[in-house]
């Protein structure tokens, strides 16, 4: 079973992923039926420690914690002692001394959650670390896919967009390979990490090749904040050659679903008609995100009942 | 060890008939009565009582089942996610005399959970408890108001209630564990 932390899909086994998804099914049922809160995290504290901006991940974690009865504390780097020069490890010690049970961390540097996890007793959940991983986003993507298709075997997942800067793409790739799906990536050469084929991905050379027969079409946001400029000529040219328009979906499987981790740049990676179409799961993904995060919090706290980590 | 049948179909029928009269007698009429059964078997018991009251007194009293999954006291200690449904009775319990129905009363823990569930839905004037069988072994300060059959049992014995709607027959049996 899941250990103390959830740091990435790279470290998580296929069985653990399935356990999380199975638990999330019950959580989603409770969410959609608008039932009363579950009591499992009563008296526990979940802290969100965000060194980067976020609306949906933070809000989703906070709601998930609240639906399970936990107290939540928010720390943003811009308004905390980080501004005074406190190191991540010291922040971790401080949070630990205040008896936090779970720390959700988002950090611009890859590996920061792993470093924090080594130094705190609390469970650490990676809420996105730089260009490395975003495991809960991948889990909610898996949940959405499994809900639609039932299984991952033989599934073709096409991911288009800024692969290089995307932690979502990497978490999806690690997880989907373990679950038995095929992952096809497509982006301008400047936004494609070198050697990604060695991680099990298939790199396509045309939009048609990427989309043909795809069951899942996933767009990724162009992360302008991580670019030092000059990686592609213009947004409209990008949309023309690398974005998904309604006509492009004709290449894909007729039962395909369209996904995007958000926030969406409308008209860049996906056009508005694709985003708002009937087979778009983008808003459903947000709901699934709360259910999946409830499942992750539930399972991590279950593992450390009584405050101790069970090995 | 072989099962001993305590009540057959006819006996269960007679007992439910008696209980339906007892309820109306004690509540002095059918006006404020509503029946709530603990899912699944308690709901069936409640539906049967509802039909009998309608047959004898010509009034259909409100009747519904409730799911107590979310109110169980072992959610956190066992740490599981209940497979529960949202409770929608279709009528208000405010000011009503609720007759809570279940098949077997043992520890009283489900009844405690059901009482909590009912109070989440409104504030009844009174809650009374009807059980088809009271097997003893209470762990809660809860006692039944309408009892089909008192069966003092040991913890090793097992009471099995079968109902037409689920098992296709009505009967109440007891199985004792073999002495070792």
| Residue A8, in any domain of the structure | no
pLDDT value, residue A140: 97
pLDDT of B45: 96
Looking at the fold, whether A209 and A179 belong to one and the same domain comes out as: yes
Q: How many independent structural domains does chain B possess?
A: 1
Mind listing the pLDDT tens digit for each residue in B157-169?
A: 999 999 999 999 9
Chain B nearest-CA distance from A171, in A, is: 27
Shared domain check, A189 and A56: no
Say whether both A300 and A271 belong to one domain: no
Q: What is the CATH number of the domain that holds A59?
A: 3.40.50.1370
Each residue of B115-147: pLDDT tens digit?
999 999 999 999 999 999 999 999 999 999 999
Tell me if chain A has a CB within 8 Å of the CB of B120.
yes
Q: Residue A83 gets which letter from DSSP?
A: G
Partner-chain contact B86 A34, CB within 8 Å: yes
Which residues from B are below 8 Å from A19, CB to CB? none
Is B68 inside a domain boundary? yes
Put simply, whether B142 touches A (Cβ < 8 Å) is no
A107 and A142, same domain (yes or no): no
In a domain, A9, yes or no: no
- Closest-CA distance of chain B to residue A310, Å: 14
> Per the domain annotation, does A238 fall within a domain?
yes
Domain of residue B115: give its range: 3-141
pLDDT of A1 reads 60
Check whether residue A156 and residue A171 sit in a common domain.
Answer: yes
Three-state DSSP at A127 gives strand
Shortest alpha-carbon distance between residue B79 and chain A (Å): 7
Which candidate in B76, B80, B82, B117 is best for mutational testing of the A interface (most A CBs within 10 A)? B76
How many domains does chain A divide into?
2
> A103 with A163, same domain?
no
Percent of chain B with pLDDT over 70: 97
Contacts of A21 in chain B (CB under 8 A): none
Q: Which among A23, A36, A42 is the nearest to B70, CB-wise?
A: A36
Statement to judge: residues A254 and A152 lie in one domain: yes
Per-residue pLDDT, A228: 73
Residue A247 lies in a domain: yes
Domain assignment present for residue A242? The answer is yes
- Cross-chain Cβ contact A39/B83 below 8 Å: no
Instruction: Tell me, yes or no, whether B169 lies in a domain.
Output: no
Among B73, B70, B81, CA closest to B118? B70
pLDDT in tens, B32-47: 999 999 999 999 999 9
| Predicted local distance difference test score (pLDDT) of residue A80 | 79
Whether residues B79 and A29 touch (CB distance < 8 A) is answered with no
Task: Please state, in angstroms and rounded to a whole number, the distance separating the CA atoms of residues A52 and A269.
Answer: 22
More reliable by pLDDT, A227 or B177: A227
Report A:123-182 residues touching B (Cβ under 8 A): none
Check residue B99 and give its pLDDT.
97
| DSSP assignment of A232-295 | SS-HHHHHHHHSB-GGGGGGS-TT-EEE--S---BTTTB-HHHHTSTTB-HHHHHHHHHHHHHH
Q: What does the pLDDT read at residue A50?
A: 94
Domain that holds residue A56: 14-133+286-307
**Residue B180, pLDDT score:** 46
Per-residue pLDDT at B77 exceeds 80: yes
- Average pLDDT for B89-110: 95
Same domain, A296 and A271: no
Is residue A149 domain-shared with residue A266, that is, in the same domain? yes
Do both A63 and A79 map to the same domain? yes
Listed as ranges, residues in chain A with pLDDT below 50 are: 306-311
pLDDT attached to residue A309: 47
Higher pLDDT, B53 or A38: B53
Over range B39-59, report the average pLDDT.
96
| Cβ of residue B140 closer than 8 Å to a chain A Cβ | no
Contacts of B120 in chain A (CB under 8 A): 36
For residue B75, pLDDT over 60 is answered with yes
> How would you class B11 by CB atoms within 10 Å of its CB: exposed for 0-12, middle for 13-18, buried for 19 or more?
middle
| Residues A173-200: tens digit of each pLDDT | 999 999 999 999 999 999 999 999 999 9
% of chain B with per-residue pLDDT over 90: 84
How high is the pLDDT of residue A311?
Answer: 39
Same domain, residue pair A252 and A181: yes
Answer yes or no: do A38 and B81 touch at CB < 8 A: yes
Read off the pTM. 0.88
The mean per-residue pLDDT over the stretch B75-100 comes to 90
Both A18 and A78 in one domain: the answer is yes
Residue B14: give its domain's CATH number. Answer: 3.40.50.2020
For residue B178, the model assigns a pLDDT of 56
Q: Select from B78, B81, B116 the residue whose CB has the most chain A CBs within 10 Å, as the one to mutate to test that interface.
A: B81
In a domain, B50, yes or no: yes
Q: Give chain B as a 3 state SS string.
A: CCEEEEECHHHHHHHHHHHHHHHHHHCCCCCCEEEEEECCHHHHHHHHHHHHHHHHHCCCCCEEEECCHHHCCCHHHHCCCCCCCCCCCCCCCCCCEEEEEEEEECCCHHHHHHHHHHHHHCCCCEEEEEEEEECCCCCCCCCCCEEEEECCCCCCCEEEEECHHHHCCCEEEEECCCCC
């Amino acid at each position: 079973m899941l250990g103390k932390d959830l740091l990435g899909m790279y470290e998580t086994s296929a069985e653990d992923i399935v356990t999380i998804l199975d638990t999330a099914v019950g959580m989603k049922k409770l969410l959609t039926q608008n039932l009363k809160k579950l009591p499992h995290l009563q008296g526990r504290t979940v802290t969100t420690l965000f060194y980067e901006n976020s609306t949906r991940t933070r809000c989703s974690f906070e709601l998930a914690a609240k639906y399970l009865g936990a107290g939540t504390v928010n720390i943003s780097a811009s308004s905390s002692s980080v501004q005074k020069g406190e190191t991540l490890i010291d922040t971790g010690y401080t949070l630990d001394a205040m008896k936090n049970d779970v720390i959700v961390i988002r950090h611009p540097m890859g590996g920061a959650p792993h470093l924090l996890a080594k130094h705190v007793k609390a469970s650490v959940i990676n809420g996105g670390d730089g260009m490395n991983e975003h495991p809960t986003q991948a889990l909610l993507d898996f949940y959405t896919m499994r809900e639609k298709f039932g299984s991952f075997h033989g599934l073709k997942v096409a991911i288009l967009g800024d692969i290089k800067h995307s932690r979502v793409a990497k978490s999806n790739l690690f997880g989907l390979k373990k679950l038995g799906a095929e992952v096809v990536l497509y982006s301008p050469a400047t936004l494609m990490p070198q050697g990604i084929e060695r991680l099990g991905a298939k790199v396509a050379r045309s939009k048609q090749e990427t989309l043909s027969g795809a069951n899942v079409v996933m767009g990724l946001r162009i992360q302008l904040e991580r670019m030092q400029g000059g990686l592609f000529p213009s947004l409209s040219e990008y949309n023309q050659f690398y974005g998904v328009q309604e006509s492009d979906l004709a290449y894909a499987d007729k039962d395909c679903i369209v996904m995007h981790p958000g926030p969406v740049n409308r008209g860049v990676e996906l056009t508005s008609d694709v985003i708002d179409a009937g087979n778009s799961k983008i808003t459903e993904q947000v709901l699934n995100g709360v259910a999946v995060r409830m499942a992750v919090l539930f399972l991590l706290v279950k593992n450390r009942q009584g405050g101790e980590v069970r090995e | 060890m072989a099962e001993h049948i305590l009540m057959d179909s006819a006996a269960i029928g007679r007992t439910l008939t008696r209980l339906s009269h007892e309820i109306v007698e004690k509540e002095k009429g059918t006006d404020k009565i509503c029946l709530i059964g603990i899912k699944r078997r308690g709901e069936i018991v409640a539906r049967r009582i509802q039909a009998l009251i309608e047959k004898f007194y010509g009034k259909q009293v409100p009747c519904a089942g409730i799911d107590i999954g979310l109110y169980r006291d072992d959610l956190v200690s066992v740490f599981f996610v209940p497979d529960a449904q949202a409770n929608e009775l279709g009528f208000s319990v405010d000011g009503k005399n609720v007759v809570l129905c279940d098949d077997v009363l043992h520890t009283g823990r489900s009844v405690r959970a059901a009482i909590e569930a009912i109070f989440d839905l409104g504030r009844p004037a009174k809650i009374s408890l009807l059980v088809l069988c009271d097997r003893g072994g209470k762990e809660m300060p809860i006692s039944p108001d309408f009892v089909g059959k008192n069966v003092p049992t040991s913890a090793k014995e097992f009471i099995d209630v079968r109902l037409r709607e689920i098992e296709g027959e009505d009967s109440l049996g007891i199985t004792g564990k073999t002495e070792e």
